[in-house]
């Protein structure tokens, strides 16, 4: 961390209350950790990375936590659409072999056991310095992929049982959020999008039939009832309709297909394209589209499989979530992997119930995870992929 970074994060944390910042920087054989409390005091730790025991850069094994397409999951990832519930056993085996470690690998290299190793390497060296009930984690590059909420200490206790957790993709992003005027963002209005009717389109140069997502539609209807708004569903959820409403709502929710590399969202096709094959720019909500909109949303919820993904750059992960933050949104809730439909429905129901009560986004996430673990959804795959990026916002839906 440079002197400018240090001064910048000190000033940022002085604006936070009851919160500690954990800033991580990963080198070839060392991990550097800076802990900054809400008084701006900076403390430093570092630890050696034993590459013979654990390759901390190989974070793609987190994919082993994903639900396979068709296994209680209608799969909202565009890149795995061919693996629908009717896929052949051979296709599903190919997917499994691609996303999970081979049987001759050590068990600690995939699935839940790896989460205790992440805790030991990433959190344990500085856990004694984390005194406040909430942590803002600024992860370095590929560390952004870590499901921090599910990291387990030596007693088996999850990090999210002890702390509320937020992620900041970079210090620059955190500063931009804090520098925006308090009255800049919309205080009312919600845009809820579910189960867009896409159909036959051209996607990545190929003719593709993007299936419907009826359970995503049910999710949008449920949230609409809680918030008292009419969601955009099916053929109404066009790219044009969404773009017209993006900059006027305080809360945005998308339950749709998303690109598993960037998170870009597939929306309904306009009727004017019925006689030809629509191109990506006509239905896909791209990062470039969002960058042209001056957002005033306090929270964006991306209920799409792998919506937390993106390209690893020096300034963090660049994907759809980063695009929303860069265009003015204060916070974004994403998922790191594909999750079961019933678990998603229960999570979103609880999250919005707390949000409607006036709880902050961070507290709503914390309580929703807690409820999931206590009510039959204790499997890490079901509750841990959700990650809040950015500011800790609140709503008054009674206004």
- Answer yes or no: is pLDDT of 94 > 80: no
Q: Are residues 137 and 170 in the same domain?
A: yes
Residue 275 falls inside a structural domain: no
Give the Cα separation of 357 and 7 in Å (integer): 36
Strands 331-335 and 299-302: parallel
CA atoms within 13 A on the CB side of 302: 37
Per-residue confidence band for 1, with pLDDT thresholds at 50, 70 and 90: low
Regarding whether 335 and 366 lie in a shared domain, the answer is yes
Q: What is the CATH number of the domain that holds 382?
A: 3.40.50.1460
Within-domain flag for 201: no
Q: Choose the weakest-confidence range: 18-27, 119-128, 177-186, 315-324.
A: 315-324
Tracing tokens 């945005």 back to the chain, one arrives at 252
User: What digits encode the pLDDT tens for the residues 204-235?
Assistant: 999 999 989 999 999 999 999 999 999 999 99
Residue 393 lies in a domain: no
- Is residue 320 within 8 A of residue 263, CB to CB? The reply is yes
Q: What is the pLDDT of residues 126-168, one digit of tens each?
A: 999 999 999 999 998 778 888 999 999 999 999 999 999 999 9
236 and 364: one domain?
yes
When pLDDT is cut at 50, 70 and 90, the band that residue 113 belongs to is confident
Judge if 132 and 29 occupy the same domain.
Answer: yes
Inside any domain, residue 49: yes
pLDDT, position 177:
82
Q: Are residues 246 and 290 in the same domain?
A: yes
Alpha-carbon dihedral angle through residues 363, 366, 368, 371, given to the nearest 10 degrees:
-120
Q: Is 379 helix (H, G, I), strand (E, B) or coil?
A: coil
pLDDT value at position 318? 66
Provide the residue range defining the domain that includes 340. Answer: 184-196+211-265+285-387
The answer to whether position 277 is within a domain reads no
> Which range in 18-22, 319-323, 354-358 is most confidently predicted, on average pLDDT?
354-358
- SS3 (DSSP) at 346: helix
pLDDT number for residue 179 = 83
Q: Are residues 7 and 153 in the same domain?
A: yes
For residues 323 and 375, membership in a common domain is answered with yes
- Total domain count for the chain? 3
Q: What is the pLDDT of residues 253-298, one digit of tens each?
A: 999 998 877 889 999 988 765 578 999 999 999 999 999 999 999 9
Residues 127 and 87 in one domain: no
Q: What is the pLDDT of residue 336?
A: 86
Does residue 363 share a domain with residue 344? yes
Which range scores top for mean pLDDT: 105-109, 185-189, 317-321, 374-378? 374-378
- 102 and 232, same domain (yes or no): no
- Residue-wise pLDDT for 4-19, tens only, equals 565 566 677 767 778 9
Q: Could you tell me if 287 and 268 are in contact, meaning their C-beta atoms sit under 8 angstroms apart?
A: no
Whichever domain contains 40, its CATH number is: 3.30.420
Share of the chain above pLDDT 70, in %: 77
Q: Is the pLDDT of residue 47 over 70?
A: yes
Same-domain pairing of 246 and 316: yes
Is residue 202 one of the residues assigned to a domain?
Answer: no
Q: Count, in order, helices (H) and strands (E) of the chain.
A: 13, 17
Q: Are residues 242 and 380 in the same domain?
A: yes
Does residue 272 sit within a domain?
no
The reported pLDDT for the residue numbered 340 is 77
Decide: 75 and 305 in contact? Cβ < 8 Å: yes
Residue 248 lies in a domain: yes
Report whether pLDDT(89) > 90: no
- Choice among 65-74, 167-176, 244-253, 357-366 with the minimum mean pLDDT: 65-74
Half-sphere exposure of 332 (CA within 13 A, CB side): 28
Q: What's the whole-number average pLDDT of the chain? A: 82
Question: Considering only 45-54, 80-89, 207-216, 229-238, which range has the smallest mean pLDDT?
Answer: 80-89
How many other β-carbons are positioned within 10 Å of the β-carbon of residue 332?
29
């Amino acid at each position: 961390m440079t002197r400018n970074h240090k001064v910048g994060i000190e000033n940022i944390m002085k604006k936070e209350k009851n919160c500690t910042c954990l800033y991580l920087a990963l080198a070839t054989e060392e991990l550097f950790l800076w802990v900054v409390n809400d008084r701006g005091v900076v403390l430093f730790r570092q630890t050696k990375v034993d590459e013979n025991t654990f390759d901390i850069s190989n974070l793609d094994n987190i994919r082993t936590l994903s639900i396979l397409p068709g296994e209680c999951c209608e799969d909202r990832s565009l890149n795995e659409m061919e693996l629908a519930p009717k896929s052949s056993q051979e296709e599903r085996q190919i997917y499994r072999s691609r996303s999970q470690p081979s049987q001759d690998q050590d068990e600690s290299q995939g699935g839940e056991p790896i989460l205790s190793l992440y805790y030991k390497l990433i959190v344990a060296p500085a856990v004694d310095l984390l005194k406040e009930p909430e942590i803002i984690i600024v992860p370095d590059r590929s560390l952004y992929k870590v499901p921090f909420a599910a990291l387990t200490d030596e007693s088996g206790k999850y990090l999210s049982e002890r702390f509320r957790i937020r992620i900041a993709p970079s210090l620059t992003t955190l500063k931009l959020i804090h520098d925006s005027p308090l009255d800049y963002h919309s205080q009312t209005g919600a845009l809820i999008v579910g189960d867009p009717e896409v159909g036959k389109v051209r996607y990545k140069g190929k003719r593709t039939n993007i299936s419907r997502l009826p359970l995503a539609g049910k999710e949008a209807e449920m949230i609409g009832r809680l918030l008292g708004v009419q969601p955009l569903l099916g053929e109404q959820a066009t790219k044009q309709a969404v773009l017209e409403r993006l900059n006027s709502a305080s809360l945005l929710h998308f339950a749709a297909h998303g690109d598993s590399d960037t998170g870009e969202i597939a929306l309904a096709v306009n009727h004017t394209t019925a006689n030809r094959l629509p191109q990506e720019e006509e239905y896909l909500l791209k990062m470039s589209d969002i960058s042209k909109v001056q957002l005033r949303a306090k929270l964006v919820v991306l209920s799409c499989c792998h919506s937390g993904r993106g390209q690893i750059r020096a300034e963090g992960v660049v994907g759809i979530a980063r695009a929303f933050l860069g265009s003015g949104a204060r916070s974004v809730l994403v998922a790191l992997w594909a999750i079961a439909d019933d678990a998603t429905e229960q999570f979103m129901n609880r999250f919005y119930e707390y949000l409607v009560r006036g709880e902050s986004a961070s507290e709503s996430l914390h309580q929703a995870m807690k409820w999931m673990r206590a009510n039959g959804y204790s499997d890490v795959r079901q509750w841990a992929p959700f990650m809040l990026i950015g500011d800790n916002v609140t709503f008054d839906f009674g206004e």
